[in-house]
Structures are given as C-alpha cells and as structure tokens.
Amino acid sequence: MKRVIVITGASSGIGAALAELLSQNGAQLALAARREHELSAVAARAGAEALAITADVTRRSDVERLAAECLARFGRIDVWINNAGRGISRSVLELSEQDFDEMMSVNVKSALYGMQVAVPIFRRQGAGHLINVSSLLGRMPLAPLRSAYSAAKHALNALTANLRMELRGEPQIFVSAVHPGVVATEFGQNALHGGPDSRQLPGAQSPAEVAAVLASVIEAPRADVYTRAQAKQMVVSYYGAEDMAEAERKPPLFQQ
C-alpha cells in the first residue's frame, strides 16, 4: 500500500526536494504552502496524484482543512511532516515583540497545530508517524543573529520529546525530530529582516541530501536524527563541556 504523506512548507527548499523524492518512491502526497504558484509547480513535478493545498499553517483552521482535504482524497494519513518554518536576522537585544511572536507562530505553533490534528487521526487508524523538521540551532546557539529562530526550534524540540513520551503507550505511533544544519535554500534571503543567501555559505547541504535523510526516517523511524554525521558529536561536546561559555567561543564546523 502506498503511504499517504503530508508535507508542510512544500513550495521550495527541503519540502520541495522531499516531495519529489517521495513521489519517486511511490508515495501519495498532500503538499501545503502559502505560495500557490510555486506549490502547484512542485506538485506537478511530484506527479499526477500529488494534492496541492494552499494553506497558511500558522492558522489552525488551515491545518484542519489540510487534513480534511487529504483524508477526502486519500482516505488516510500515514506520515505528517511539519516542515514549514522561517528564520530571522536579529540578535537578542535587537528583538521586538513582533519578531519573537512571528518566530513562535511560524516555527512552533504551526507544528503544534499539525501535531494536534495528526495524532487523533493516527489514533483512529491505529498507526502513524509525525516528523518535525527542527534545526541544529534547536540544539546549539551557533548563530546569534538567528536568536529567536534558535529559541523557537528549542521549543519545538521540547514539544516533540514531550509528545513522544505522551504517546509511549501507543507503539504504532512514531514521533521524530530531524535537525538539519545550514542548507542551500532561500532560507537566508527569506529570513525576517533579510540575511545572507544560505546557498552561498560554505559547506551548505543540498536540499536533496536533507530530503534523503528524511526519507530514511520514514522508512526506519528514529526519535532524533541529524542530517550531518558530525552534528551529534558537536551537540554532545557542547553540553558536556565544563564551561559552556568556553565552548561557545570555539568556531563551529558550520553555521546558519
């Protein structure tokens, strides 16, 4: 049976690359994003069965509509991937309330809505897989200009882990977090207040590489996954440091 997979933030970057890869693997896709034209182009590349749903996932009603339209078309949802997100270019002392609210809305509340909509569906079905696309910045403060984005991804990681614990008596429902580092997408340019083009940063992973990791998590569910081999050791070293301030002075292997 073909898996039915929902991907938010599917109009570009990681979401678009993942849609194309999963379509090649035979998945039935419900793709969501705000940009209708770009989303339709991705859906066209993902095959005739792909369902494009223009939605703003910072609105709970849109997330509920996304689920309803997917169920109406395919009859079930096997995997829900909360991928929508946005960065920011502001240090802690520069942040406005509006900056912080935007980061929490786009990066945390949208995923919370997805979790609260998807899990009841999984329970009715008796199985399902929830994947939250987080960030290495949700583990380590590698880039002070991404302060509120980093804070939002830390919050997302906490919600993800707590949901997994909440569902530990339901072993057929999996909950995963995936943590990319810098990825060669429009993320930097689209950040609130602008920023460097992530595609020009040294060592950026391609969206296709990250998509391949996400596809592997779908095939073999794991709780917490990094898209770079060295990232987990960086996190372990940071939290295991005698003095975190000293660890923060060391240059990271890559930044976002």
Residues taking part in catalysis: 149
Amino acid identity for residue 118 in this structure: A
* Alpha-carbon distances, residue 237 vs 112, 140, 224 (angstroms): 30, 10, 17
Write the DSSP string, 182-251.
Answer: SBSSSTTTTSBT----GGGSTTPBPHHHHHHHHHHHHHS--SEEESSTTHHHHHHHHHH-S-HHHHHTSP
Mode of pairing for the β-strands spanning 51-54 and 224-226: unpaired
Question: Quick one: which of 85, 89, 136 has its CA closest to 253?
Answer: 136
Write the DSSP string, 144-170.
Answer: TTBHHHHHHHHHHHHHHHHHHHHTTT-
Write the DSSP string, 76-94.
Answer: --SEEEE-----B-B-GGG
Report the distance separating Cα 184 and Cα 14, nearest Å: 9
